[in-house]
Amino acid sequence: MNNSMNNILDGKQTSLDLQSEIAQKVETIVSSGGKKPHLAAVLIGDDPASKAYVGHKIKACAKAGFESTIINRNTDISQTELLEIVQDLNDDKSIDGFIVQLPLPDHLDSTEVVQAVSPEKDVDGFHPESVGKMALGLPTYLPATPAGIITLLDRYGIKTTGMHAVIIGRSDIVGNPMSALLSRNAEPGNCTVTQCHSRTVNLREHTLRADLLIVAIGRPNFITADMVKEGAIVIDVGINRIPDPTRKSGSRLTGDVDYENVAPKCSWITPVPGGVGPMTIATLLENTLQASLLKSNASSEK
């Protein structure tokens, strides 16, 4: 048992390190006459979680020396109006990359919206062209959450080659791309991947075989200590708000893993908050910086 709790993969600190490296690069670009990277975020409605996520992203932009723009519209926006906003952002030469914060209200078709984003500005990596390139191992924008997890493992010098990785979840933004990235012939990567989901039978049998367990379900304390192998690396992607009368706000964030009881069994574990979430933000900034550099290279070649 590891009770020392020095087994925490500190996503918050790693993200701050990355953000300050990005800020230094931006400073160099700007001092040599280049343009600040510019990220735009489209936020529809007033879902508190979506508002908070966009707020964190915009704050991180300011700290890294980026320009940022929020386009906030009411829930009753039509699909046509939203597609017009996306088209305007595609056409706007001052914007390097943009995101449409998901989930969208039910009456909007997020698949069509994601497909309307120009792949050159798709810094979320959700467009089918980006997903296809990722699957083929071609250069592209990688989705921020799984790419952030890869970076976190890399920054801690964790070698995953040969590990049995078990991923729980099959969403397009976490589970599926995570599976693709960990199977790649790369380090971190080179894992033998088992991908579980809501229809998996005997989930515990799978999780107990995981050297690397990545959990993206959205259910608090779903992964309990009896489901985790001694010495496993556990990455908790879940973000759940649960009631907590001891807090002023009456609630707090927690992951999908019963952290208190699982952590002592792990060689490494990510906390929530302070694990995967901040890495997602740093990766979005990296993607936007890359978009900005690609754009300035393309215009100087003309």
Residues that bind ligand NAD (CB under 6 A): 145, 168-171, 173-175, 196-198, 200, 203, 216-218, 237-240, 276-277, 280
Strand partners, 166: 194, 213
Residue 101: active-site member = yes
- E-strand spans in 50-110? 67-73, 97-100
- Of 36 and 164, the one with the shorter C-beta distance to ligand NAD is 164
Closest among 283, 9, 254 to 125, alpha carbons compared: 283
Give the shortest CB-301-to-ligand NAD separation in angstroms: 35
Q: How many whole angstroms separate alpha carbon 110 and alpha carbon 100?
A: 9
Q: Indicate which residue of 19, 101, 121, 229 is catalytic.
A: 101
Smallest distance, Å, CB 123 to ligand NAD? 15
Q: Output 29 or 173, the one with its CB closest to ligand NAD.
A: 173
Q: How many whole angstroms separate alpha carbon 297 and alpha carbon 302?
A: 9
- Of the residues 19, 96, 121, 124, only one is catalytic, namely 124
| Pairing, β 67-73 against β 268-269 | unpaired
In 3D space, the residue among 4, 53, 5, 54 whose CA is nearest the CA of residue 271 turns out to be 5
Question: String of b and e for 210-230 (b: at least 16 CB within 10 Å)?
Answer: bbbbbbbbeebbbbeeebbbe
Least distance from ligand NAD to the Cβ atom of residue 119, Å: 21
Closest to ligand NAD by CB, 96 or 236: 236
Q: How many CB atoms within 10 Å of residue 98?
A: 26
Catalytic pick among 19, 57, 121, 195: 57
**At its nearest, how many Å lie between ligand NAD and the CB of residue 217?**
4
User: Could you give the C-alpha distances from 133 to 113, 142, 187, in angstroms and in order?
Assistant: 19, 9, 18
Is the separation of the CB atoms in 83 and 108 below 8 Å?
no
Q: Nearer to ligand NAD by C-beta: 90 or 240?
A: 240
C-beta of 12 vs 73, nearer to ligand NAD: 12
124 is catalytic: yes
Residue 281 one-letter amino acid: I
CB of 228 to ligand NAD, least distance (A): 15
Residues tagged active-site? 57, 101, 124
